[in-house]
Amino acid sequence: MLEFNFTPFPELKTERLVLRRMTTADAGQMFFLRSDDRVMKYIGREKTKSVEEAEDFIRKINVFIETNESIMWAIALNSDPAMLIGTICFWRLQPENFRAEVGYVLHPGYWNRGIMKESLLAVIKYGFEGMSLHSIEAHINPENIASGKVLENTGFVREAYFKENCYFHGAFRDTAIYSLLNK
């Protein structure tokens, strides 16, 4: 069985991006991301209601990182590393199966620029090389065509489709499950 250790925090760099640890200084941008209708449209979670709630969320994420339960990176441009423009994470870690789930959000002002693909490729590399994962999965709302394309463009394959398996805000929603093997 795998054992994860996110200390020291693994900062990842790409040609245009730095994937760094979040701090409470990111709370304003996190509040925007988690309260924006466009960002949250396909995410079955309640929107964040205040900057203070975003600060609490960041503190909670950092506890999960310190206890090796999950890891979330702030996505920032190399040209402005202090400005959070999105997040990407591994959660629902399954060390006994050498598996983790990836999740991500991105500020709408940065959509359609290849930023999430670049972030996802860096996190995939870390997952396979740094964490020794055998597989990475992603659960998405199948109506989120852009997310499905990002996954497919980074090598993921849609393996399952669950009809009406999630209940949120008075409606049942479908889930598409994608997976990528370390081959």
Q: How many CB atoms lie within 10 A of CB 130?
A: 14
Residue 117 falls inside a structural domain: yes
Residue 100 in domain: yes
Q: What is the CATH number of the domain that holds 83?
A: 3.40.630.30
Q: Per-residue pLDDT for 1 more than 90?
A: no
C-alpha pair distances (Å), 183 with each of 2, 84, 155, 156, 168: 18, 32, 11, 12, 36
Residue 4 within a domain: no
Domain interval for residue 86: 12-181
Position 176 in a domain: yes
Is there a domain that residue 1 lies in?
no
- Residue-wise pLDDT for 56-79, tens only, equals 999 999 999 999 999 999 999 999
* Residue 179 CA: distances (Å) to CA of 90, 126, 158: 13, 16, 6
Question: pLDDT tens for residues 83-117?
Answer: 999 999 999 999 999 999 999 999 999 999 999 99
- DSSP lists the bridge partners of residue 15 as none
Residue 3 placed within a domain: no
Mean pLDDT of 8-35: 98
> pTM here?
0.96
- Return d(Cα 179, Cα 85) in angstroms, integer: 25
- d(Cα 18, Cα 77) in Å, to the nearest integer? 6
Specify the number of domains making up the chain.
1
Q: Is residue 70 part of a domain?
A: yes
Q: Is residue 5 part of a domain?
A: no
- Report pLDDT for 163: 98
